[in-house]
Structure 1
């Protein structure tokens, strides 16, 4: 009921957040009813779960809403989410939908190669050509990197600190500290960040940041 009430005043965006980060489980029926609200304009899907992501997409398709923008917040599945065409059988026929972009904590760092990847993915989708296997390789590399930055091994306890640590190493912030003293790097997380730097230099943008940092800070 509160979604309907808010939608009477302003456009609304749904946000499906995984329970480990403070969200709650919301099934297909919820998302179908939510998508039937006229003033819904977008949904960010971040359950970090393929089944639950499909619940959202099915709900939107069954509601007949082709005007609701779908964004991935699944930092564990970024590349695949962006590449995939979802073909959903509904009571009104078969519907195809694609995720139009990402609203991702992972994209708070190393954004220069992310922009390039996103543009390439959009071009690949629009070409309707077969998907290059390189994207499947990259997908797993990004997921591995995200597991470290988000501290998946410790149920995401060091998620914010992991992002801040990369920004600190690049000189964009002075410290990886967060407002809460409970938010800090988990034991071994810094060493894991070292590992992904060594393993996936093509995912990072330290050279780009270094070349522009003085101008950014001066501005």
Structure 2
């Protein structure tokens, strides 16, 4: 499989959450079920060991980074053996350079084809230091850049950084997730002006999924106007209601091909963003974003609890009610019936 071509075709790539039981112990059975759910829903890849999986899995007292990556890779391979198709396994890669290189080497040994590279450990470093770090990790594993919003632990990364980042040959994609239109434009313009048409753009802007996917971004580069699109999404939001996400992206691809967009897409865009506001707890600075994902999966019977490894990471007051409201308001975006029809097999 050619990774760049697969990504350029536009894929739904969920960020995998972590399944813990009522005693905050890892539940391999439920973790396996979540992975089976995503494959059955038709996703084109899965990101494991990322923010939604909880960065705490790396802490020695938990020791879950390798077990979680191993289980996801094995489950994906087992499911795809029944119905082979193209699929990308992406591992989260974090920390300073020594740690990140070690994580990339582990991921590669487990069959992961790319690393989603977090720069959260470089909050006070120079641009030169960050570029050198990215280049070193890219020597081990193809890299997907990650513009993570500061509210979730990221830092501001301007046009200059992304223009230089594009010069790293083993960069295959960028997840754009600053939750900010100005900063989103910085990334797209930098890639266009770099001349790299093989660096695929993916949205991580969970607050603007549909608009990102429908927008043609057009900039001057090399004396001509170049238009690029965001091909697909690598999203925490798509860790729930995933079957509907796959269907939505396919509809968007058809709409993009038509060249004419009906205004109802703007209404649908607001519906998805409204759902994300409840899911990610936007009203409270995204504090409940991971518990929000888990609460949807708990209601569907795919995880046993909304517990996180950090006991202070909980649903915010009123968040559960908001999740009920949006699920009732937008039933066309909810896949409860699909989950209910397959849950017992996934949990077996």
Per the normalisation by structure 1, the TM-score is 0.96
Which has the higher mean CA deviation after the structures are superposed, 196-205 or 155-164?
196-205
Residue of structure 2 in register with 1:106 after alignment:
237
Per the alignment, residue 306 of structure 2 pairs with: 176
CA displacement 1:168-208 (0-9 Å, x = unmatched): 00000111111111110001111111111221111111111
How far off its partner does 1:8 sit?
3.2
Aligned to 2:114: none
In the TM superposition, residue 91 of structure 1 has moved relative to its aligned partner by 4.2
Residues 1-219 of structure 1: matches in 2 within 5 Å?
1-128=132-259, 130-218=260-348
Bigger mean CA offset, 208-217 vs 141-150: 208-217
Deviation at 1:92, TM superposition (A): 3.5
Relative contact order higher in (CA < 8 Å, ≥ 6 apart)? 2
| C-alpha distance after superposition, 1:99-144 (max 9, x if no partner) | 111000000000111111110111111222x102221111001001
The separation in 2 between residues aligned to 1:23 and 1:170, in whole angstroms, is 31
Q: Which runs of 5+ in 2 are unaligned?
A: 1-131
Quote how far apart the aligned CAs of 1:13 are: 1.4
TM-score (norm 2): 0.61
Q: Distance in 1 between matches of 2:151 and 2:212?
A: 20
**Worse overlay, 113-122 or 14-23:** 113-122
CA distance in structure 1 between the partners assigned to 2:198 and 2:288 by the alignment: 36
> Residue 146 of structure 2: SS of its match in structure 1?
strand
CA distance in 1: counterparts of 2:165 and 2:345, whole angstroms? 45
How many residue pairs get aligned? The number is: 217
For residue 18 of structure 1, report the CA deviation from its aligned partner.
Answer: 0.1
Distance of 1:7 and 1:114 partners within structure 2 = 30
Q: Which moved more, 1:8-17 or 1:170-179?
A: 8-17
